[in-house]
A and B are shown apart, each in its own frame.
Chain A
Amino acid sequence: MKNKLMHLSNETMNVGFVKKVEALSGSSVRRCFQCGKCSAGCPMSAFMEHPPNRVVRLLQLGQGQRILAGRSIWYCASCETCTTRCPNKVDLAAIMDALRKLSWDADGPSKESYVQLANRLFIENIRTYGRQYELRLGAAFNMKSGQFLKDLMLGPKLISKGKLKMFHSKNKNIADIEGIFKRIEEMRKKGEAL
């Protein structure tokens, strides 16, 4: 997919998708002049099939699908180095957030499932408990990702060091959290929020 011939036309360039990214991120995509400074400083660049500058380039060409199909966006660590150093005030970290949200909404066409799974469990945890419950997070991740032996030796050690709690109590005001999730869902249903 990465090197597949690119047909450019009004039909193949998905400008609507780019507009959505710009609206969500509050950052212009067109402003980028491809200096590559983002990729030069990105700690995760080596893990990505599309380095950050190319992600923006693909957006400029209306090729959102190519980005979502890859795993680049899921390997962004949100360290904000790109945003900090961009000579053109392109907020690439926010663009990455926007792309992940759009990928998430489209139910993750990406190959990268582990990071998505971790995110999903993390947010579920918030909704259920109000706060993070790290033991459950780790355990559930291993279960669902099928890596039953991952960090096998680490868990008991952390428990013995007091770093993982065996039990977790829910917030008293957990209903408030549920309210937030519900109202956001409602807003989106009514089209009042992206």
Chain B
Amino acid sequence: MSRIGVFVCHCGENISRTVDVEQVAKAAGEIPGVAYSCDYKYMCSDPGQTLLKKAVAEHKLDGVLVAACSPRMHEKTFRKAAEAAGLNPYLCEMANIREHCSWVHEDRGMATAKAKDIVKLMVERVRKGKSLAPITVPVTKRALVIGGGIAGIQAALDIADAGHKVVLVERDPSIGGHMAQLSETFPTLDCSQCIMTPKMVDVANHPNITLFTYSEIEKVEGYIGNFQVTVKHKARSVDEKKCTGCGVCMTKCPKKKIPNEFDQGHGMRPAIYVPFPQAVPNTPVIDRENCTMFQSGKCGVCAKVCGPGAVDYEQKDTFTVEDVGAIVVATGFKLYTIDRKPEGSPIQGYGEFGYGTIPDIIDGMTFERLASASGPTGGKILRPSDGKEPKQVVFIQCVGSRAREKGISYCSKVCCMYTAKHTMLYHHKVHDGQAYVFFMDARTPGKGYDEFWRRAVEEEEAVYIRGMVSRMYQRGDKIVVMGSDIQVGTQVEIEADLVVLATAVQPQDGADLLAQKLGISYDKYNFYSEAHAKLKPVECATAGIYLAGACQGPKDIPDTVSQASAAAAKVMTLFAKDQLERDPVVAKVNEKYCVGCFACKKVCAYGAIEEKEIRDRQGNLVKKVAYVNPGVCGGCGTCQATCPSKSIELDGYTDEQIMAMIEAL
């Protein structure tokens, strides 16, 4: 490269405030091989890009460096601009003088010096860069959706309706997720099951959807357009094909007193069960840990009463491999509990609330079940300890959430609204009861949300107390709640019959393990990370994997459904083409020098390296060398670092580029 153009961006004042951009541009112009340099207010703007394109043409540039923000932000933008100007996009690089320089240093002199150095390094990278041609790979037009809550259901239906095949995998025996557990939903107070169950049935009946419940993701291989996903089908002990869903087994099962997870442990179910009457599929599953047959080998009642002979105690876990082109992750959330946490856990419990040992302190989801017509109390608000109707109910918001001392500093987003809803449901059901809410802030952005909250306060007579609760303890059959009202400036003590905690929304158990299988990143709470907080909110950094719902962060139903449809749209965009162009950052073998020690093959996590035989014209084997399948190569470059003779090289990160940068230090 001998005619490089360097474009230094002010980023408004973001860069120029601490970096003397003119000096940086001037210094860049003095680097041998730099044919043009300038600075400009906003390089990413339309005029900025035009400036770049013009300069490429006018100065016959054969390489471009834009010194601006992080390449994670605008590399694509400028590569596109360079391409439009007739340059190979991979000859355009970015020098990060914003995130890595102007924003983190205050001394103008030092920051400018650093920016010059960064530019100098990156000019070397451009100089040694090579034109690369994109690689095309075929796309399997079949999607995998992980999680069968409202997010997964919505995404699956949208993709299936667009005419593509979808595999929906759910860990529990039925789809439906948390939304199926809710009684009524804010801000309209419509019945959750009434709007949810039709969608569940749609999933079951959709010709394009293959539904695997009671199944988990075992292994994920491949890459965008070409994933191979191993699904583990846990032994249901009931043959789904034979079962008619008549339910006789459940009524005859002698073991009936098992706390029902769906009712948060407050209702009972038999050992062979469907989680709730509207479950999809309506095929029961045997809870082997609680089944007498599995524990002692004696019983077998369900098998005897099953007409079609669907009960199969010998069933084993099975595995299938699904070829898919895109993956939507919609694993949802779980609720924080105030229980004492195991030692070493970054999350803490609430000892001041009794670590979950006081029976009439319940969480919001339990309250949903109490309020639900299909719940354990048939929709009557009765407290767990003695089944009495509570006359004084205290709701506490931000339990776990916004409490960095407990290990969670984020806002769970949905609690303000559902607590307001709870006070209304309570007031509707217990007319002479009084609801109190301890809260810090009422966060109600959303269509009709603030009006909903104000209704709870003004019409449904909930007493909102701005302040938190310091301690709760049992006194007789009451719970003494010691709080404060910071507006009045006094302590408040309430003798409550029932306390409902709006506990934090956390990612599902095992979210981190799934992320590791998928190769996607997650934050310190195990929420999955989107590729860009604003511009790529549903994509993962790993191509071909998309996020929907609360697995990415706390979300209410409307947001979840929107995101699910957005993820589905992204999948459809991907499926709109038969071939996929992918980043050509892949390894290549120099067959002349490769001696076939296959160290590269041993370290390749993708299995992208094969053994290739080199033969002479007579067909005699000359030697064996390594060969990289460019479609499979992930582009990590571990092979190159391992190769003793450097006969394998990663395009875009060649030794020549890196060494040149080090030389320029």
Contacts and interface: CB of A to CB of B under 8 A. Distances in A.
Chain A partners chain B: yes
Interface of A: 33-42, 45-46, 50-51, 53-54, 81, 85-89
Given A35-B468, A39-B491, A40-B491, A87 B484 contact: no
A41 B352 contact: yes
Given A41-B471, A85-B352, A36 B405 contact: no
Contact of B483 (A40, A46, A51): A40
A86 B405 contact: yes
A40 B470 contact: yes
Contacts of B491: 39-40, 42, 45-46, 51
B484 A53 contact: yes
B199 to A, nearest CB: 38
Nearest to B352: A85
A40 B405 contact: no
Q: Is the interface of B mostly helix, strand, loop or mixed?
A: strand
Contacts of A40: 467-471, 482-484, 491-492
A81 B482 CA distance: 13
B404 A53 contact: no
Which of A37, A41, A81, A85: most chain B CB closer than 10 A? A37
Nearest to B441: A33
A39 B468 CA distance: 9
A2 to B, nearest CB: 9
Contacts of B469: 37, 40
A101 to B, nearest CB: 25
Interface string B464-482: 0011111100000000001
The 9 nearest A-B residue pairs measured at CB:
A41-B470, A36-B467, A87-B403, A40-B470, A40-B484, A37-B468, A36-B486, A39-B484, A35-B468
Which of A45, A53, A87: most chain B CB closer than 10 A? A87
Contacts of B483: 36, 40
Contacts of B489: 39, 50-51, 54
A35 B405 contact: no
A34 B468 CA distance: 9
A18 B406 CA distance: 26
Contacts of B466: 36
29 contacts: A33-B402, A34-B440, A34-B486, A35-B440, A35-B467, A36-B466, A36-B467, A36-B484, A39-B486, A39-B489, A40-B483, A40-B492, A41-B471, A41-B482, A42-B491, A45-B490, A45-B491, A46-B491, A51-B484, A51-B490, A81-B470, A85-B352, A85-B470, A87-B398, A87-B402, A87-B403, A88-B403, A88-B405, A89-B405
A46 B406 CA distance: 27
A81 B469 CA distance: 12
A81 B404 CA distance: 17
Which of B402, B406, B489: most chain A CB closer than 10 A? B489
Given A39-B484, A87-B468, 13 more contacts: A33-B402, A35-B398, A35-B467, A36-B467, A39-B467, A40-B482, A41-B352, A45-B484, A46-B491, A51-B491, A81-B470, A87-B398, A88-B404
Interface string B421-450: 000000000000000000010000000000
B496 to A, nearest CB: 14
A35 B398 CA distance: 10
B485 interface: yes
Given A35-B398, A40-B491, A87 B406 contact: yes
Contacts of B403: 87-88
A51 to B, nearest CB: 5
Nearest to B481: A40
A55 to B, nearest CB: 11
A87 B440 CA distance: 12
A94 to B, nearest CB: 15
Contacts of B482: 40-41
Contacts of B467: 35-37, 39-40, 53
A127 to B, nearest CB: 38
A7 B89 CA distance: 59
A151 B471 CA distance: 34
A37 B470 contact: yes
Contacts of A45: 484, 490-491
A35 B489 CA distance: 12
A88 B471 CA distance: 16
B621 to A, nearest CB: 69
A100 B515 CA distance: 51
Contacts of A38: 470
Nearest to B470: A41
B353 to A, nearest CB: 10
Which of B405, B484, B491: most chain A CB closer than 10 A? B484
Contacts of B470: 37-38, 40-42, 81, 85
A53 B485 CA distance: 10
Contacts of B406: 87
A88 B401 CA distance: 11
Nearest to A31: B404
B582 to A, nearest CB: 46
A35 to B, nearest CB: 4
Contacts of A54: 486, 489
Contacts of A37: 467-470, 484
Contacts of B404: 87-89
Nearest to A2: B489
Contact of A36 (B352, B402, B485): B485
A50 B486 CA distance: 10
